[in-house]
Amino acid sequence: MTARGSCTVIVGAQWGDEGKGKIVDVLAENVDIVARYQGGANAGHTVHVGDDEFVLHQIPSGILHPGRRCLLGNGVVLDVRQFFQEYDGVVARGIDIDGRIGVSYRAQLLMPYHQLLDKAVEHAAATKIGTTGRGIGPAYEDKAGRRGVRVADLLNQDRLAKRIEAARSRVEGKLDELGVPAARLDEAMDETLALSDRLLAIASDVGPEISAALEEGKHVLLEGAQGTALDLDHGTYPFVTSSNTTAGGAATGTGIGPTSITDVIGIVKAYTTRVGEGPLPSAMTQEMDEHVRKLGGEFGATTGRPRRCGWFDAVLTRYASQVNGLTGIAVTKLDVFDTMPEVKIATAYRMPDGKERRFFPADTWSLSEIEPVYETMPGWEAPTGDVRKLEDLPKNARAYLDRIEELTNAPVRWVSVGTKRSQIIPIG
């Protein structure tokens, strides 16, 4: 049967923090359901509504539009305590979310011991990843190792106790080896399990729910977290997160068939940023990096860490276009470049042997040795924050967007020129 609704995947096309939250919020105006398909509280999605700023970590970014159903799919690792803190925080700010949130019975529970282990391993590691410390890696390890605890396990207390005991004692053994005390773990586990009934009350069969909605002609957004270059398989391994952030993960992470997906929109910043360890091929000079960080407010929404800044890397976004099958892109933060006399785009990588390549290499370590090949374009040196139509953008800004579109190989469908909902230019 052919689905009559629409299902659009929103995916980060760089190293995360591209402005997915802002774009999902804008597009949520015209959809019925927004679902997260992977990741956990490592994400920090910022949404501005009027003068209010919301940073959402686990709740989908459609929550600020009344009536939209917000789901967390099976691909998510759910930190239950943090989730309900966020939930209560949103309610306390006057948002009615009663009956609007559903969590997959198949979602994995991210336990306090995962978080302890993440921090301990990172602390002891010779090659640091610079994780967010939210327990993401250990939770997905337990999932892949078939030791994970799922929402559905909360339905049977005996089975739950056994599964937790097995997973927890393994983690405690590792903490012991690392010489890290399992401080406050009992208390944290009690707090987590005390929320079981509350969680079961909103548990849902997310895949069938989305499929049924599509059959009824409803519109759905699947909201990715992190970005393509942080994908476990396709990113700059091992400097990645532990889930499939790319569009393929949207089907497996929600439980719908890939043929239900009608559009895949890649979110790209007008430049590139990265937080955590790992190479950033188009990194700016220290002076420019500091300048752009200040202009763009580039500090992590989850950890507050400064984000490294680089020029727009078209080698990466072209790769993202291929990996995700992008049908369009949304370019965010164009306004951040409003005062720049010139802007650069990395169009290829020059390898140590002098050869140029236009493909993103699988060998992550080679990225530290490449020299980006830049194209320099004149800046527009004019404010864009009030522009609402493409033709009203300065000529040089349009030329910059045209070049991004051409090199990325995906049409620009939206341009964001500020944090506000209204600061968006729809195209076509």
**Binders in 120-179 for ligand IMO, by CB under 6 A:** 129-132, 134, 136-137
Spot the catalytic one: 25, 45, 153, 231. 45
Shortest Å, Cβ 248 to ligand GDP: 19
CA dihedral 302, 95, 335, 241 (to 10 degrees): 30
Q: Residue 223 binds which entry of ligand IMO, ligand GDP, Mg ion, none, with Cβ cut-offs from 5 to 8 Å by kind?
A: none
**Binders in 187-246 for ligand IMO, by CB under 6 A:** 225-227, 230, 241-242
Longest dimension (CA), the chain: 66
Shortest Å, Cβ 167 to ligand IMO: 18
Shortest Å, Cβ 40 to ligand IMO: 8
Shortest Å, Cβ 141 to ligand IMO: 11
Axis crossing angle, helix 136-144 with helix 112-124, rounded to the nearest 10: 110
Q: Residue 74 binds which entry of Mg ion, ligand IMO, ligand GDP, none, with Cβ cut-offs from 5 to 8 Å by kind?
A: none
Q: Residue 222 binds which entry of ligand IMO, ligand GDP, Mg ion, none, with Cβ cut-offs from 5 to 8 Å by kind?
A: none
Is there binding between residue 275 and ligand IMO (CB under 6 A)? yes
Shortest Å, Cβ 253 to ligand GDP: 17
**Binders in 64-123 for ligand IMO, by CB under 6 A:** none
Q: Which residue is nearest to ligand IMO (CB)?
A: 276
Q: Which of 46, 115, 236, 254 binds ligand GDP (CB under 6 A)?
A: 46
Q: Which of 5, 39, 40, 44 binds ligand GDP (CB under 6 A)?
A: 44
**Binders in 333-392 for ligand IMO, by CB under 6 A:** none
Shortest Å, Cβ 45 to ligand IMO: 6
> Quick one: three-class SS letters along the chain?
CCCCCEEEEEEECCCCCCCHHHHHHHHHCCCCEEEECCECCCCCEEEEECCEEEEECCCCCCCCCCCCEEEECCCEEEEHHHHHHHHHHHHHCCCCCCCCEEEECCCEEECHHHHHHHHHHHHHCCCCCCCCCCCHHHHHHHHHCCCCCEHHHHHCHHHHHHHHHHHHHHHHHHHHHCCCCCCCHHHHHHHHHCCHHHHHCCEECHHHHHHHHHHCCCEEEEECCCCHHHCCCCCCCCCCCCCCCCCHHHHHCCCCCHHHCCEEEEEEECCEEECCCCCCCCECCHHHHHHHHHHHCCECCCCCCECEEECEEHHHHHHHHHHHCCCEEEEECHHHHCCCCEEEEEEEEECCCCCEECCCCCCHHHHHCCEEEEEEEECCCCCCCCCCCHHHCCHHHHHHHHHHHHHHCCCEEEEECCCCCCCEEECC
Q: Which of 7, 17, 272, 323 binds ligand GDP (CB under 6 A)?
A: 17
Is there binding between residue 413 and ligand GDP (CB under 6 A)? no
Is there binding between residue 223 and ligand GDP (CB under 6 A)? no
Alpha-carbon gap, residue 252 to 255, rounded angstroms: 5
Q: Which of 249, 266, 276, 310 binds ligand IMO (CB under 6 A)?
A: 276
Going from the C-alpha of 224 to that of each of 176, 274, 282, 361, 368, the distances in angstroms are 35, 17, 24, 23, 27
Q: Which of 5, 21, 135, 248 binds ligand GDP (CB under 6 A)?
A: 21
Residue type, 245: T
The verdict on whether 17 is a catalytic residue reads yes
Is there binding between residue 306 and ligand IMO (CB under 6 A)? no
The window from 42-50, 72-80, 90-98, 196-204 that contacts ligand GDP (CB under 6 A) reads 42-50
Shortest Å, Cβ 17 to Mg ion: 4
Is there binding between residue 248 and ligand GDP (CB under 6 A)? no
Is there binding between residue 19 and ligand GDP (CB under 6 A)? yes
Q: Which residues are catalytic?
A: 17, 45
Q: Which residues bind ligand GDP (CB under 6 A)?
A: 12, 16-22, 44-46, 48, 297, 301, 332-333, 335-336, 416-419
Q: Which residues bind ligand IMO (CB under 6 A)?
A: 12, 15-17, 42-45, 129-132, 134, 136-137, 225-227, 230, 241-242, 275-277, 301
